[in-house]
Amino acid sequence: MKRPYLLIGACQRAHGIKGEILVKSLTEDNERFFQGLVCYAMDSAGEGPVEGLTLSGCRPPPQGLLLTFDGISTREAARRLTGKTLAVKREDALALTDEFEFYYGDLLGAELVDRQRGLLGSVTDILNAGSGIILLVSQAGEPDILIPFLRSIITAIDPECTTIQVDLPQGLFELYRQSQENHTEDD
């Protein structure tokens, strides 16, 4: 589902005494955190009141990014960003370069429909497994399913990102859902 803002970072905690904040990047390209970038601080779900912040500095510590913003120069001021999510306006986002590229936030909430089994649930999270992207698919009353985001599995995504069509390889569905049914029958 396309949203007006795209999430790029999660504020974790204040760092030091000069207004830096440790941010977990939610984008594959950390080059997007450049001086002068206008970010919007929102609640952790990417909703609620929006506060515009201009990025004045970025440096990579061992984990995450250390960001500074204009007007935030103390630990106390940085601390109020803890737990917030940073976003950019869709029109300011880096351009997608491939037909199979999508903004992660657009895929959240999309219904996942398998060619053989029909509706499997909705995308509730997107995980970076190092070797690739994994969609976490949830449906009420059913175990979650982890679906690799691969061209061989994802057959189509509608332009508004509300439906993702998949053709699951043999055994993947059964690994999560039917194994639970078999387990309860044996008990």
pLDDT at 135 over 60: yes
- Do 8 and 104 form a contact (C-beta atoms < 8 A)? no
pLDDT at 128: 77
Arithmetic mean of pLDDT, 73-86: 94
In the chain the domains, ranked by start, together with CATH numbers, are: 5-91 (2.40.30.60), 104-186 (2.30.30.240)
Q: Indicate left, alpha or beta for 6 from its phi (over 0: left) and psi (-120 to 50: alpha).
A: beta
pLDDT at 55: 96
Per-residue pLDDT tens digits for 137-156: 999 989 999 999 999 999 99
Arithmetic mean of pLDDT, 157-186: 79
pLDDT at 97: 83
Which residue in 116, 108, 117 sits closest to 157, CA to CA? 108
Q: Provide the Cα torsion 73, 75, 80, 83; round to 10°.
A: 120
Whether the model pTM is above 0.85: no
- Do 91 and 28 form a contact (C-beta atoms < 8 A)? no
Arithmetic mean of pLDDT, 101-125: 91
pLDDT band of 44, cuts 50, 70, 90 = low
Q: What mean pLDDT, rounded, does the chain reach?
A: 87
pLDDT at 64 over 90: no
